[in-house]
Amino acid sequence: MSGGGEGEEETTLEFTPTWVVAAVCTVIVAISLAAERLLHYGGKFLKRKDQKSLYEALQKIKEELMLLGFISLLLTVSQNALTKICVDPTVMRHMLPCTLQEKKDSEEHPSQHYSAFSFPSGIARRLLAEAAEAEEHGSSYCARKNTVPLLSLEALHHLHIFIFVLAVVHVTFSVLTVVFGGARIRQWKHWEDSIAKDNYDSTKVLKPKLTQVQQHEFIKGRFSGLGKDSALIGWLQSFFKQFYGSVTKSDYVTLRLGFITTHCKTNPKFNFHKYMIRALEDDFRQVVGISWYLWLFVVIFLLLNINGWHTYFWIAFVPFILLLSVGTKLEHVITQLAHEVAEKHAAIEGDLVVQPSDGHFWFHRPHIVLFLIHFILFQNAFEIAFFFWIWVTYGFDSCIMGQVRYIVPRLVIGVFIQLLCSYSTLPLYALVTQMGTHFKRAIFNDHVQVGLVGWADKVKKKKALKADAHSSQGSSHDHEGSSTGIQLGSVFQKRTSAPEDSTSVTKAEGSN
């Protein structure tokens, strides 16, 4: 079998020197073990720093890598079978990313089909020759039936690379978003420290004061001024607010007090900032993964990548519009909280307190915001990954890349989404989603969570044994005890509303 048009014979492992096989295997195994050890020691470091949520996010990344490995294995094992699936030639002439004329031009000038950025010209020619040989083998099988292969070996290889690039870019972008967003949120720590200092100042705590609601800084920033009675202008103000000063100190102080008053009113010194960081890290585990519905979106977008449709230009606006909608909604939730207080009171004794409620969020479900952020990050990563994959694989001038006037806006939108999500939307999400009716399990320290769940499991087992022993009597006392254990265990399976007596929360965070 000739290679590169130079009459070189391809050799199998039967006639390959053992030192070559051993050397290649050594390099591959060494790189794989190094990556595995890096993840392992990264997990140990997070455990040592008591970062349970980030450790679980790292485990999620390992699961994604395992899924990629399985996809890679599946594509490799099935490639021969896929190239021998033959179809009528007319089937392959519809829904093409590039026209048949462009295909003919690329065959006449094959060296222009690959990017000079990715391979030296000699290697590119070599890869072309090898792909041509492999494809000729599959084509000859189908040619005898007057058909063509459903998927060529070269196309299968490129699809393989794209899936890998997409997953890597998504995980990388998610990590960068949370790192930069977390750094932004940690800048608010001095606000928490100043509040804690005021709480220890007995003269400020004991001195009664009358607050004029309309003069409060939080109300003036969110309610007073032009258009305070217009819903449309209120939404427009929320839209532009996300681009500058999305969260001010008065916003943070007021929302913090509203949360503490609702969920842990017996502990006014509750460290809200530390809780918010833990809640964000807990949510990060969901953001870093690629769910089945996200893979479904990939398949749909690949299906719609038809010549002349400019699909990847138009879908770039999907995460862009969603991100602006999420930021506007989060800002509007703060505005609604300000309106509620300003409309009910002219003056109040003490500090201004807002009332958290799920009713301010879409469909009364705050977690929908996290789902949208997850989709936005994935869709943005998909756009950027697709661009670099086409650039490296086919070249910037490839027909599948599209025209420059469609490429530049996609890249600008991608960068804008990454920056806005990191420095505005994610910090807004971390703060505003605490204004729901329910608190998150991150309100408890990790060791308290483990202790309560373990205690609840013991109670359930003990009550179950008693129920089995006295099943004939049907004791109502045992039934009530078992119910109590089950309800306590479910605290960490779904969000629960804060109880009237928040003593447990006080004890859990008293040290903070």
Q: How far apart are the C-alpha atoms of 97 and 185, rounded to whole Å?
A: 43
DSSP states along 394-451: T-TT-TTT--HHHHHHHHHHHHHHHHHIIIIIHHHHHHHGGGSSEE-GGGS-HHHHHH
Q: Of 441 and 394, which is predicted with more confidence?
A: 394
Say if 74 falls within a structural domain.
no
Residue 1, pLDDT score:
41
Decide if pLDDT at 63 tops 90.
no
Decide if pLDDT at 400 tops 70.
yes
Same domain flag for 466 and 398: no
Burial class (CB in 10 A: 0-12, 13-18, 19+), 414: buried
Q: What DSSP state is assigned to residue 498? A: P
Decide if pLDDT at 8 tops 60.
no
Whether 162 and 71 have beta carbons less than 8 Å apart is answered as no
Residue 505, pLDDT score:
44
Say if 119 falls within a structural domain.
no
Give residue 150's pLDDT band: very low, low, confident or very high (50, 70, 90).
confident
Same domain flag for 291 and 369: yes
Whether 115 and 392 have beta carbons less than 8 Å apart is answered as yes
Same domain flag for 373 and 392: yes
Same domain flag for 314 and 358: yes
**How many domains, in total, are found in the chain?**
3
Average pLDDT over residues 185-189: 88
The alpha carbon of residue 216 and the mean position of all alpha carbons in its chain are separated, in whole angstroms, by: 37
Same domain flag for 395 and 362: yes
| HEC per residue, 197-263 | HHHHCHHHHHCCCEEEHHHCHHHHHHCCCCCCCCHHHHHHHHHHHCCCCCCCHHHHHHHHHHHHHHH
Cα-based distances in Å from 354 to 94, 219, 257, 262 = 59, 11, 8, 9
Average pLDDT over residues 154-170: 84
Q: How far apart are the C-alpha atoms of 290 and 60, rounded to whole Å?
A: 9
Same domain flag for 462 and 353: no
Whether 491 and 476 have beta carbons less than 8 Å apart is answered as no
Query: Considering the chain, what is the average pLDDT of its residues?
Result: 75
* Segments forming the whole domain that contains residue 470: 446-494
Residue 4, pLDDT score:
42
Q: Of 144 and 140, which is predicted with more confidence?
A: 144
Q: What 3-state DSSP class applies to 149? A: strand
> Parallel, antiparallel, or unpaired: how do β-strands 347-349 and 438-439 relate?
unpaired
- Shortest CA distance to 176 belongs to which of 284, 283, 65, 322? 284
Say if 332 falls within a structural domain.
yes
Q: Lowest-confidence range among 2-6, 180-184, 198-202, 347-351?
A: 2-6
Task: Report residue 190 as tokens.
Answer: 């001095």
Say if 75 falls within a structural domain.
no
Per-residue burial over 251-271, b = 16 or more CB atoms within 10 Å of its CB, e = otherwise: bbbbbbbbbbebbbbebeebb
pLDDT, one tens digit per residue, over 452-502 is: 455 566 667 777 777 766 655 554 444 444 444 333 333 333 343 444 444
Residue 327, pLDDT score:
93
Give residue 97's pLDDT band: very low, low, confident or very high (50, 70, 90).
confident
Cα-based distances in Å from 377 to 81, 169, 296, 311, 478 = 35, 10, 15, 18, 49
pLDDT, one tens digit per residue, over 277-312 is: 888 887 887 777 778 888 888 888 888 888 878 888
Decide if pLDDT at 61 tops 80.
no
Same domain flag for 350 and 392: yes
Say if 232 falls within a structural domain.
yes
Same domain flag for 299 and 362: yes
Decide if pLDDT at 146 tops 90.
no
pTM exceeds 0.85, yes or no: no
Say if 363 falls within a structural domain.
yes
Share of the chain above pLDDT 90, in %: 7
Same domain flag for 458 and 422: no
Same domain flag for 423 and 469: no
Q: Of 327 and 121, which is predicted with more confidence?
A: 327
Q: How far apart are the C-alpha atoms of 197 and 269, rounded to whole Å?
A: 10
Whether 265 and 498 have beta carbons less than 8 Å apart is answered as no
| HEC per residue, 283-302 | HHHHHCCCCHHHHHHHHHHH
Residue 478, pLDDT score:
47
Same domain flag for 396 and 476: no
Share of the chain above pLDDT 70, in %: 72
Same domain flag for 181 and 330: yes
Say if 211 falls within a structural domain.
yes
Residue 161, pLDDT score:
85
For the ranges 76-80, 438-442, 493-497, the maximum mean pLDDT occurs at 76-80
Decide if pLDDT at 349 tops 70.
no
pLDDT, one tens digit per residue, over 317-332 is: 999 999 999 999 999 9
Say if 76 falls within a structural domain.
no
Task: Report residue 58 as tokens.
Answer: 């790292």
